[in-house]
Amino acid sequence: MERVRDVSLLPKAHLHLHFTGSMRPSTLLELADRYGVHLPDALTGGEPPKLRATDERGWFRFQRLYDIARSCLRTPEDIRRLVREAAEEDVRDGSGWLEIQVDPTSYAPMLGGLIPALEIILDAVDSASRETGLGMRVLVAANRMKHPLEARTLARLAVRYADRGIVGFGLSNDERRGMARDFDRAFAIARDGGLLAAPHGGELAGPSSVRDCLDDLRASRIGHGVRAAEDPELLRRLADRGVACEVCPTSNVALGVYDKPGDVPLRTLYEAGVPLALGADDPLLFGSRLAAQYEVARRHHGFTDPELATLARQSIEASAAPEPLRGKLLAGVDAWLAAAP
């Protein structure tokens, strides 16, 4: 059997990881026991649930599980623990840069308000970065199920705290609801403040949701974006503009976007020249972290080690990592590829 290199040793950037979804299952079990929160079977370990979020019931179940898990994060120490452990897991998987995505309004009720919640999160990220050596920053994401005025408030807050570790602004939740153009002002505020625009699109909805992110929100990255594979002209636009898609293969299968890992159109996107950044999305619910996404590319799509190295380079180049770190990581990719398997 041909020997292959260990993908957990491949330097890479992680650009699509949600806050609560980054939690270790063991941590969730401990916190739930501490706070007397009853966890459904899907959150108590074992086989990751098949959520089939492409239908109404599946998406509701996914949101319900996420909300239950989030309810176990109640104190600043809980936040610090989650962030530190997320950083440790990323380091173990070879990540040198992590942009963790969070909607601070979701944690505000437990942490004394919106601004205190954001400051606690940013302090936790700063501490975890120093303790683990992982370059780590925050992408603030608005919820497209809520009013666009709330998104504007978040965008202004994100810009205000840009010097504290916020690098981007996103738009999460079900893109079948809440039109992208309704959030154009929030994204303009974020862009004018120097933040990169990284809304979700092309996951549960088709290519039109990716086009809306490009045209209405002037996205520099697309969260997911896999459905762009259904539109050759859209693929050309993404490739020509160098807009990276944050592809999360395990998540796509768990949520029912595709039936099996081999159906995720990684090859179509890659060969069209679209920059890709593989991400784990919500490991707590989907059961696998960053390195496992590279294994999906290898095992189910036949990506060679040089091609995996290209994916890692693309993730680094699409990130907000500062130039010295970016250069170090890219050199590490070259070294990984040069080493004998």
Task: Express each pLDDT in 101-129 by its tens digit.
Answer: 999 999 999 999 999 999 999 999 999 99
Do the domain assignments include residue 59?
A: yes
Do the domain assignments include residue 2?
A: no
- pTM of the entire structure? 0.96
Q: Mention every residue, 6+ apart, whose C-beta is less than 8 A from residue 203.
A: 175, 209, 223, 224, 225, 226, 227, 252, 255, 257
DSSP character for 130? H
In the chain, the N- to C-terminal Cα span, in Å, equals 12
- Contact status, residue 10 vs residue 308, Cβ threshold 8 Å: yes
C-alpha span between 109 and 103 (Å, rounded): 12
Do the domain assignments include residue 132?
A: yes
Give the Cα-Cα-Cα angle 152, 172, 275 (nearest 5 degrees).
Answer: 110
Q: Residue 83 — φ and ψ, nearest 5°?
A: -65, -45
How does strand 196-197 pair with strand 200-201? unpaired
* Total domains present in the chain: 1
User: One digit per residue, pLDDT tens: the chain, 341 residues?
Assistant: 567 899 999 999 999 999 999 999 999 999 999 999 999 988 887 666 666 666 666 777 888 999 999 999 999 999 999 999 999 999 999 999 999 999 999 999 999 999 999 999 999 999 999 999 999 999 999 999 999 999 999 999 999 999 999 999 999 988 887 789 999 999 999 999 999 999 999 998 999 999 999 999 999 999 999 999 999 999 999 999 999 999 999 999 989 899 999 999 999 999 999 999 999 999 999 999 999 999 999 999 999 999 999 999 999 999 999 999 999 999 999 999 999 88
C-alpha span between 176 and 80 (Å, rounded): 33
Do the domain assignments include residue 53?
A: yes
Q: 160 by DSSP, 3-state: which?
A: helix
Where do the H-state alpha helices sit in the chain?
Answer: 25-35, 56-70, 76-92, 108-111, 114-132, 148-160, 184-192, 207-217, 232-241, 249-254, 266-271, 283-286, 290-301, 305-317, 323-338
Do the domain assignments include residue 197?
A: yes
By the 10 Å C-beta count (0-12 exposed, 13-18 middle, 19+ buried), 84 is classed as middle
* CA of residue 5 relative to chain centroid, distance: 25
CATH of the domain at 269: 3.20.20.140
Q: Residue 245 — φ and ψ, nearest 5°?
A: -105, 130
Q: Which domain holds residue 209?
A: 7-338
Give the Cα-Cα-Cα angle 235, 240, 242 (nearest 5 degrees).
Answer: 95
The number of beta carbons lying within 10 Å of the beta carbon of residue 113 is 12
Tell me the CA distances in angstroms from 6 to 17, 26, 86, 97, 261, one per residue in order. 22, 26, 21, 18, 20
Do the domain assignments include residue 299?
A: yes
pLDDT tens digit sequence for 227-266? 999 999 999 999 999 999 999 999 999 898 999 999 999 9
Kindly list the catalytic residues.
Answer: 203
Do the domain assignments include residue 1?
A: no
